[in-house]
């Protein structure tokens, strides 16, 4: 049998043909690397000089494989496709020559990435703004100075030139400590925090699943400061023991870490309704709700989080700009159902 596939350098694949090896090089490689590369892709790599046998490249796909041959495939660095403009509707709250402010809907990814190379906010912005977006963020993130999760709704600002990008980025990096930047969110959470208002000061870092975040000890290598201020705005289905089945909470960020509100609220025992990543263990709480509310919760398929307020200093005029986005329809239905 052929020896098992060997991994050499980061972008190099090495195989050694055993005594049974025979046939065309492209066909043999397609068999050996079934599931990794198509025969057409292998043929292209051979013709591009990316495949060598016994140190000799520039060979033909039809070259015969012989026992003992050492075949090396040097893979080119993968290139991220440059995003193209797409006619995706935008809810524009404000726009001038320096920036654009939009209300992001649920389900819209902010910028292209693995699994989402099209259909993103960046694709929509390129179509809407043309070549005017700031280039500081790179081709995949033109003008993007902050993000919202795919299923989080609310206000976002995007820079349309490099000067505006730098000014806005500095404000977000400062987290409003010395300037007018404010970010406020509305979240519907399970239960009710013991305190009606408070501060969660808990560092965040990568979780066991690298796509998620977790509270970390300060000594952890990847721990980053994370501070969330919260206030309970409304309580739903209060019980005799002074607890509630759910609450509407307003959160204000002092830092802006990935998934910060979602992780922090789960950390204090009150994850967001609909949050499959950080609140899945609380799904059975819905069984305590009246039938009508339980049905609405069952159909709510995203984290109940809305970035309703964004305030910042205009990068050119210095004016304090204040924007609010109304509660999205699905979250309003959820709240109305919880009130019943």
Residue with tokens 């397609």: 30
CA dist 244 and 270 (Å) reads 11
In sequence order, the 6+-apart residues with CB closer than 8 A to the CB of 41 are none
Residue 277 falls in the annotated catalytic set: no
Give the Cα separation of 55 and 57 in Å (integer).
Answer: 7
CA dihedral (306, 108, 269, 206) in degrees, to 10, reads: -130
Which of 26, 149, 277, 330 is the catalytic position? 149
d(CA 151, CA 102): 15
User: To which H or E segment does residue 184 belong?
Assistant: strand 182-190
Helix (H, G, I), strand (E, B) or coil at 232: strand
The upper half-sphere exposure of residue 262, i.e. CA atoms within 13 Å in the direction of its Cβ, equals 24
- Catalytic annotation, residues: 149
């Amino acid at each position: 049998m052929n020896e098992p596939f060997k991994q050499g350098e980061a972008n190099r694949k090495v195989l050694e043909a055993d005594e049974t090896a025979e046939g065309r090089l492209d066909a043999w490689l397609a068999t050996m690397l079934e599931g990794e590369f198509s025969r057409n892709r292998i043929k292209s790599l051979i013709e591009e000089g990316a495949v060598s046998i016994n140190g000799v490249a520039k060979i033909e796909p039809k070259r015969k494989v012989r026992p003992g041959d050492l075949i090396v495939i040097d893979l080119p660095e993968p290139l991220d496709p440059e995003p193209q403009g797409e006619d995706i509707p935008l809810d524009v709250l404000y726009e001038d020559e320096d920036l654009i402010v939009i209300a992001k809907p649920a389900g819209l990814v902010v910028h292209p990435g693995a699994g989402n190379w099209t259909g993103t906010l960046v694709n929509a912005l390129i179509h809407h703004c043309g070549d005017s977006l700031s280039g500081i963020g790179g081709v995949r993130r033109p003008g993007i100075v902050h993000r919202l999760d795919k299923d989080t709704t609310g206000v976002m600002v995007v820079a349309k030139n490099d000067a505006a990008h730098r000014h806005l980025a500095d404000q977000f990096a400062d987290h409003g400590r010395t300037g007018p930047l404010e970010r406020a969110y509305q979240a519907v959470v399970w239960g009710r925090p013991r305190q009606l208002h408070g501060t969660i000061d808990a560092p965040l870092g990568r979780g066991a699943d690298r796509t998620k975040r977790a509270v970390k000890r300060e000594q952890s290598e990847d721990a980053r400061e994370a501070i969330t201020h919260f206030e309970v705005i409304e309580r739903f289905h209060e019980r005799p023991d002074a607890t509630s089945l759910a609450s509407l909470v307003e959160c204000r960020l002092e830092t802006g870490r990935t998934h910060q509100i979602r992780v922090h609220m789960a950390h204090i025992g009150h994850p967001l309704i609909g949050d499959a990543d950080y609140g899945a263990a609380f799904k059975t709480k819905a069984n305590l709700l009246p039938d009508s509310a339980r049905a609405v919760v069952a159909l709510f398929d995203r984290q109940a989080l809305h970035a309703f307020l964004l305030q910042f200093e205009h990068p050119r005029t210095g004016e304090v700009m204040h924007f609010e986005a109304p509660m999205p329809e699905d979250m309003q239905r959820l709240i109305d159902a919880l009130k019943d």
